[in-house]
Amino acid sequence: MRVPRIHTDAPLAGNSSIELDEKATRHVARVLRMQPGQSLVLFNGDGMDYPATLSGVDKKRVTAELAEPQANHLESPLRIVLGQALARGDRMDYAVQKSVEAGVSVIVPLVTERCEVKLRGEREDKRLRHWQSVAISAAEQCGRAVVPEVMPVMELAQWLDYTRACEARLVLHHRTRQALQNLEKPASLALMIGPEGGLSNEEITASEQAGFLATALGPRVLRTETAPVAAITLCQWLWGDLR
């Protein structure tokens, strides 16, 4: 039986006792319906796994005994920063979830010219918290001990400035013949994905003038939520840890 992995925001230390936070308590007690004596793995994003045994479980309080932490070696050597244009409905959820599973390092929601989603104020904060929760759940599922951060929503100019430190910067669209496999291996990579209506010519030009290379994944047009998964997987195969 697979041992559940549970994320917590609390500090963790080996050979100690811990009372789980409200979210982790709800998941352990009400969703998984675990019992005292059962095993789980806790992690808080520091890159370590903390094997634990439940010592007390009720609907409002869960306690566990932590063993020695174990190094988690599932992080890719390739740092990938994803700029994903805002998408409608569960398409953005899918892009976040699958990108985390594929090994992305940071996710930046982008506002572009043809975006049909507009976020402001409290609505933006709510969606960011939701997407971060999606990223946490994906990390729990795929075994990662580091949760990629979902950054605040950025406009194009902010994104272009934010990614200057990345060794390679790619803007993906199907109107170019430059393929990924023709590029030299980078240590860090920024990927820019357009919205459902695609990036405008002006946005592509602005990206190229800022140092981005226009790159294609193939002859077919991919959906906005499919493109990041395909791109990250290919990058991990070429330069990361999928070989």
Give me the residue spans of the domains in the chain: 5-71, 79-239
Main-chain phi, psi angles of 209, to 5 degrees = -65, -25
Whether the CB-CB separation of 40 and 59 falls below 8 Å is answered with: no
pTM here is 0.93
- pLDDT per residue, tens digit, the chain (243 aa), is 689 999 999 999 999 999 999 999 999 999 999 999 999 999 999 999 999 999 999 888 999 999 999 999 999 999 999 999 999 889 999 999 999 999 999 999 999 998 877 777 788 899 999 999 999 999 999 999 999 999 999 999 999 999 999 999 999 886 777 777 778 899 999 999 999 889 999 999 999 999 999 988 878 888 999 999 999 999 999 999 987
Pull the structure tokens for residue 13: 């230390």
- Beta strand 39-43 with 48-57 is antiparallel
Topology (CATH) of 5-71: Ribosomal Protein L25; Chain P (2.40.240)
Pull the structure tokens for residue 204: 């592509």
The domain made up of 79-239 is a member of CATH 3.30.70.260: no
Whether the CB-CB separation of 174 and 92 falls below 8 Å is answered with: no
Closest to 147 measured CA to CA, from 115, 104, 113:
104
